[in-house]
Chains A and B, each alone.
Chain A
Amino acid sequence: MSVTTLPSRTLALRQQGWIARVFDYKPFLIVMCLTPAIGLLLVFLTYPLGLGIWLAFTDTTIGQRGIYIGLENFQYLLKDQLWWNAVFYSIFYTAVATFGKFALGFWLALLLNNHFPFKSLVRAIVLLPWIVPTVLSALAFWWIYDPQFSIISYLLVDVLHLRSTNVDFLGSPWPARFSLIAANIWRGIPFVAISLLAGLQTISPSLYEAAMLDGATAWQRFRYITFPMMMPILAIVMTFSIIFTFTDFQLVYAITRGGPVNSTHLLATLAFQRGIAGGELGEGAAIAVSMIPFLVFATLFSYFGLARRKWQQGEAND
């Protein structure tokens, strides 16, 4: 529209009157613009976060207002074997899955960084596991892990004759734990690969040319150019990955619901079982709150990753 024609504009301003002037008053405008976002976040994020910490110190149950009971919930949790199991499995799950996702994701990113036909199509396909609803792909994994009709068992037993019995994926603790981790890695690879690919593409080819002139081997080029240059973005992506793997809920809830014999509970699924399904809101909140120290740790990790990045690449980095 013609914002450049002066006469019609001044006329418009006169017609709009005081409302227009109020909306052009900067402090008012700033408040107006920030209100929806900040309001939503305060009401549905900050307030519940505070409320959650408060609930963790009460004995609230569904339908009954609790009273302050101090550290009782936490003392109870410290004596609770199930909570310790969940802590152990959360850390184990996060550690192994993150390692797997980054090893395989980095490899995939390096592969995708080559030239080959149908490159953009391949890149689009690779992201599919990430965009499809986790619960729905988890169901597919549940079916793949079926005790009787598992396709993996079929391959191992009837096609390759490597085993004589079906694999019991979800029936006993350790296989179930690793099956869930495999599903998590499968889902996480695309995100890691595509994010790292973006990082790889920002590395200047002249560095590699210089190294090749100096006679660096492929491994040396990776070790002394690719890896250090990728450190900053690796740190950020890893922080996100760690936070969201540690607090994962969907995959475990969909496939095992914490079973067999509570061996695959993550802190989030345990919190759900106690808090929502069991109705002990206070105790559930305490379990959720017990995740916070780990998250703070991961966030600090991210912060130092960012700081290192500025130092490494100087000012001209955006």
Chain B
Amino acid sequence: MTDVAAQSGNARSATPDPMAWDSRARRVVMIYLPLACFIVILLFPFYWMTITSFKPNAELLNYKEHNPFWITSPTLAHVKHLLFDTDYPRWLKTTMLVAIGSTVLSLFASTLAAYAIERLRFRGSPYVGLGIYLAYLVPPSILFIPLATVIVQFGLFDSPLALVLVYPTFLVPFCTWLLIGYFKSIPYELEECALVDGATRLQILWRITLPLAVPGLISAGIFSFTLSWNEFIYALAFIQSGANKTVPVAILTELITGDVYQWGALMAGSLLGSLPVALFYSLFVDYYVSSLTGAVKE
């Protein structure tokens, strides 16, 4: 693998760099070569996923006659099988609805909470903020068993609604902290002016603070959407029937049948399941990076 990386590294690093302050060869060895290795290794599984999805089975399982790194006769058979012979479209729809539902719910809850903690300032508001932050440190792995019994008590077992209600437990802490940071950056004077002019608190939140916090809301929204799309353990534990599963769970539990793995279909499913988040992410990549780093800096 590193050998492939090295080869493409040489190809890449041939581009001249006018900003070089050091000898060019040194720069190539110290920066471009390792960077190219990193990129090749980080992207290789995606390349492999993509190429497997479009390979006919004959090529897929015969490395002697076909170069495994390329496709000679690409086929859509795996994708077709996935879309028409399985419940895949339905899983996609469920996942989409769950992700959107939990994102909207978390944004609503965390905007209000962040506003109350940062702007309504009351005695003990820092402790409420700390409490919400601590909630982020509780991983789903220690919660899923008791949560499963709670879900059963509420009669929500096997319902996507359960996921919409449960995902905010890890989304709300993150979004609240992100939004507190954004609200902090909005000058308080603006709100004071509005207060003097007689606006109510809710009007201030709706007409002044929120429009100014749109970048923060977008960051929080993207982050929530990707996290809910990717969530696995709750979806695995709370959903039983094949039709209600989310994409990650369904691919793992419904598409693997018997001992012979349908690698083409599996990889096509993985690719299609990754595409929505990848597209969404590429549209808002700056917001995403800022939310990730902003939260860490906070």
Mark A1-35 against chain B: 1 for CB-CB distance below 8 A, else 0. 10110100110010000001001101101101110
Q: Residue B187 at the A interface, CB < 8 A?
A: no
B274 and A23 contact, CB distance less than 8 A: no
0/1 interface trace, chain A 183-202, chain B, CB 8 Å (1 if under): 00010011100110111001
Tell me if B270 and A139 are in contact (CB < 8 A): yes
Q: Is there contact, CB below 8 Å, between B144 and A276? A: yes
Residues of chain B contacted by A158 (CB below 8 angstroms): 63
Do A55 and B289 touch (CB < 8 A)? no
| Cα–Cα distance between A186 and B203 once the two chains are bound (Å) | 47
**Known: A44-B168, A131-B288, A186-B42. Contact between A247 and B139, CB under 8 A?**
yes
A203 at interface (Cβ–Cβ under 8 A)? no
Q: Mark B137-169, 1 if CB is under 8 A from A, else 0.
A: 111111111111110000000000000011011
Which of B61, B140, B203, B273 sits near A133, CB closer than 8 Å?
B273
B residues near A139, Cβ cutoff 8 Å = 49, 251-252, 266-267, 270
Q: Quick one: closest B residue to A39, CB to CB?
A: B109
Q: Mark A152-175, 1 if CB is under 8 A from B, else 0.
A: 101100101000000000000000
Q: Are A250 and B251 in contact (CB under 8 A)?
A: no
Question: Hey, which chain B residues are within 8 Å of A52, CB to CB?
Answer: 142-143, 145-146
Contact of A135 among B34, B145, B248, B281 (CB under 8 A): B248
Residue on B with the closest CB to A32? Answer: B112
Is A79 an interface residue when CB atoms closer than 8 A count as contact? no
Whether A44 contacts B197 by the Cβ 8 Å rule is no
Does B135 sit within 8 A of A, measured CB to CB?
yes
Tally chain A residues at the interface, Cβ within 8 Å. 110
Contact across chains for A41 and B139 when beta carbons are under 8 A apart: no
Contact A237 B296 (CB under 8 A): yes
Q: Does A207 lie at the interface of the complex (its beta carbon under 8 Å from any beta carbon of B)? A: no
Contact with A along B85-128 (1 / 0, CB 8 A): 00000000000000000000100111011011100101000001
Q: How many angstroms between the C-alpha atoms of A38 and B289 in the bound complex?
A: 27
Interface of A is mostly: helix
Q: How far is the CA of A10 from the CA of B197 in the complex (A)?
A: 10
The answer to the question of B70 belonging to the interface, with a C-beta cut-off of 8 Å to chain A, is no
A247–B145 CB distance below 8 A: no
- Indicate whether A67 reaches chain B with its CB closer than 8 angstroms: no
What A residues does B200 contact at CB under 8 A?
13, 20, 23-24
Whether, in the assembled complex, A210 has its beta carbon less than 8 Å from a beta carbon of chain B, the answer is: no
Task: Please list the 10 inter-chain residue pairs (A to B) with the smallest Cβ-Cβ separation, ordered nearest first.
Answer: A198-B293, A37-B113, A33-B116, A52-B146, A268-B141, A36-B109, A247-B141, A136-B270, A247-B139, A51-B146
Contact assessment for B48 and A144 in the assembled complex, using a CB-CB cutoff below 8 Å: yes
Give the residue among A48, A144, A288 with the most B Cβ atoms within 10 A: A48
A-binding segment of B76-84, B213-221, B227-235: B227-235
- B39 in complex: contacting residue of A120, A126, A194, A233, CB < 8 Å: A126
Q: Which one, B149, B263, B269, contacts A51 given CB within 8 A?
A: B149
Give the B-binding residues of A (Cβ under 8 A).
1, 3-4, 6, 9-10, 13, 20, 23-24, 26-27, 29-30, 32-34, 36-38, 40-41, 43-49, 51-52, 55, 60, 104, 107-108, 111-112, 114-117, 120, 122-129, 131-137, 139-141, 143-144, 146, 148-149, 151-152, 154-155, 158, 160, 186, 189-191, 194-195, 197-199, 202, 233, 236-237, 243-244, 247-250, 253-254, 267-268, 271-272, 275-276, 281, 284-285, 288-289, 291-292, 295, 299, 302, 318
B202 adjacent to chain A (CB < 8 Å): yes
Residues of chain A within 8 A (CB-CB) of B31 are 111, 114, 116
CB-CB under 8 A from A197, the residues of chain B are 293
**Contact status A295-B139, CB under 8 Å:** yes
Contacts of B173 in A (CB 8 A): 41
CB distance from A111 to the nearest CB of B (A): 5
Contact of B147 among A23, A40, A44 (CB under 8 A): A44
Contact between A33 and B135 (Cβ–Cβ < 8 Å)?
no
**Max count, chain A CB within 10 A of own CB: residue among B34, B35, B38, B168:** B38
Known: A37-B112, A243-B139. A249 touches B34 (CB 8 A): no
- List residues of chain B with CB within 8 A of the CB of A186: 41-42, 45
Q: Please name 9 further chain A to chain B contacts, defined as beta carbons within 8 Å, in addition to the given A133-B277, A233-B297, A249-B232, sorted by A numbering.
A: A6-B197, A9-B199, A48-B150, A107-B34, A131-B278, A140-B270, A151-B68, A249-B141, A288-B145
Hey, what's the 0/1 contact readout for B259-289 against A, CB within 8 Å counting as 1? 0010100110111011001100110010011
Cα A151 to Cα B135 with chains together (Å): 41
Known: A36-B108, A41-B135, A275-B145. A30 touches B293 (CB 8 A): no
* Chain B contacts for A160, CB-based, 8 A: 3
The smallest beta-carbon distance between B192 and chain A, in angstroms, is 13
* In contact, B165 and A44 (Cβ under 8 angstroms): yes
B3 x A45 contact (CB < 8 A):
no
In the complex, what residues of B have CB within 8 A of residue A253's CB? 232, 236, 252
Chain B residues contacting A4 (CB-CB under 8 Å) are 197
Q: Which residue of B lies closest to A302 (CB)?
A: B137
Residue of A nearest to B176 (CB): A37
Other-chain residue from A6, A104, A128, A195 in contact with B43 (beta carbon distance below 8 A)? A128
CB distance B145 to A151 under 8 Å?
A: no
**Docked pose: A202 CA to B248 CA in angstroms:** 37
Contact partner of B141 among A24, A111, A146, A271, CB < 8 A? A271
A142 to chain B, nearest CB (A): 8
